[in-house]
Amino acid sequence: MRVFLLCLAFVTFASLSQEKRQPPALPDFPDYPPVSEVTAQTNGDVYFSSVTPGDYKWLVLAEQNLAETTVKAQLFLPEGASASNPVPAMVIIHGSGGILPSREIAYGQWMADHGIAGLVVNSYGARGVTDETPYGLRVAIVSDADETADAYGALKFLNQHPAINPEKIGLMGFSYGGMATRAALDSRIHQNMAAKVLPFALHLDYYGPCHFDLQTAKTTGAPLFSLRGAEDKSNDLEACARLENRLRDAGSAIGSTIFPSAGHGWEMATPRQFIATLNPAPCNQVLLENGDWQIEGKTITVPDELSRQEKYLFRLGLLGQMKQSCMSEGYIMGQDKQTHGLSNLLLSQYTSAYLLN
């Protein structure tokens, strides 16, 4: 099996460079300070405990032995929040491009300005990914399943904060983080990651691609609202509608807004343009009951009891196979002030209805 994983990994990197045959080294976890001790005044840089599953198999199946990770996050606490005046909170998880000042950080401050604590989670930094790490490696080292685990680590952390109302904690994510936000609705993941605390009260998926289906039979019951652009080819809108219909059948209220002229990442500071990057939208990836993947009808066995290094090699191979079999190249992304303004109006409505009331 290990030889098989290595061979799959080579597929990915041989396609990127004929001269590179060995996959780049997996970075170590960072040497972060201990998990933060929380008081009613805790804000700014904080640290909490999470795990690194690497794949959804190890989130949906119970009793998995997962390596612990310390995650750094930035907490924006509203003025006046205290133990006697606890406020709602929003966990904010980043896209595959990492934390952007114009997006994740801006929304952390937006939350605080609107009476909601914003917790911006850095899933990349928690696993050794830096600004110098090539894009393709980022998504191999840190999966959206890792971001889902971090979201639940953040939920447990905020439950300890005296100035946070544990009944009013939401989750929002962008692109990569949008996929994780949607996955976090699965009741299996809530039970395995954070059964002792209430689930998220609200899920907001900002243009998260819809190429994979966890076959969620039961959600936590929280509502999910998605925001997408009709000109964003990273989102197959028909696939997104099918997926959201299944989540509706599984127990959640679902709402979807499609902005007619919007592309991807409308909060970004960079100009709107076509970016030639790998696009998983055409893929059909289904998680089977035993944790294996089915991609374009072909079953990919996800081995048990893998080390972090082996999970990394497996993910390289999985991404390599998707690139060969179904991915397309590129989509429109970049700044769109009109769509940004419209989406913020919806954000105000969602947070008012589900967190502030």
pLDDT digits (tens, 9 = 90+) for 2-42: 333 333 333 344 344 434 568 899 999 999 999 999 999 99
pLDDT tens, residue by residue, 124-179: 999 999 999 999 899 999 999 999 999 999 999 999 999 999 999 999 999 999 99
77 Cβ contact partners less than 8 Å away, ≥ 6 residues apart: 41, 42, 43, 87, 112, 117, 163
Residue 305 scores a pLDDT above 90? no
Residue 205 scores a pLDDT above 70? yes
pLDDT at 193: 97
Q: Where are the domains of the chain?
A: 29-271+335-356
Residue 333 scores a pLDDT above 80? yes
pLDDT at 125: 98
DSSP state at residue 305: S
CA atoms of 162 and 41, how far apart (whole Å): 9
pTM: 0.94
> Is domain 29-271+335-356 classified as CATH 3.40.50.1820?
yes
Residue 182 scores a pLDDT above 70? yes
Where in the chain does DSSP place strands (E)?
A: 44-51, 68-76, 87-93, 117-122, 164-174, 202-206, 212-213, 224-229, 254-259, 273-279, 285-287, 293-295, 298-300, 328-333
Residue 245 scores a pLDDT above 50? yes
**For the residues 250-264, what does the mean pLDDT come to?**
98
pLDDT at 3: 30
